[in-house]
Amino acid sequence: MTHELTDMLRKNRTIDWQLKDQGRAKMRSMIKRLLKKYKYPPEEEQNAIDIVLRQAESMDMETNNYRGERAYG
């Protein structure tokens, strides 16, 4: 599940996804679908989504810093 999630996030993120509500909503929806696919407990779903989004933001910032880009403008 982790590899599938990571690949999915990398393929579908846009440059400023974390700044736009529509981009965050799309990511949230993709994460939800994947959690359901693997029968993740519904009562833990929101916490998992929040964690994954935070990790994706962190991963994005690290990638931008590695390339010498600024993460937020």
pTM, full prediction: 0.67
Q: Report how far Cα 52 is from the mean position of its chain's Cα atoms.
A: 6
pLDDT higher than 70, residue 57: yes
Are the C-beta atoms of residues 13 and 56 closer than 8 Å to each other? yes
Mean pLDDT of 42-54: 93
Tens digit of each residue's pLDDT (9 = 90 or more) over 3-43: 887 787 777 666 566 567 887 888 889 899 999 999 999 99
Residue 10's pLDDT is 73
Instruction: Read off the tokens for 59.
Output: 């991963």
Which range, 1-10, 46-55, 61-70, is most confident? 46-55
Q: Cα–Cα distances in Å, from 35 out to 6, 13, 62?
A: 13, 18, 25
CB atoms within 10 A of CB 17: 19
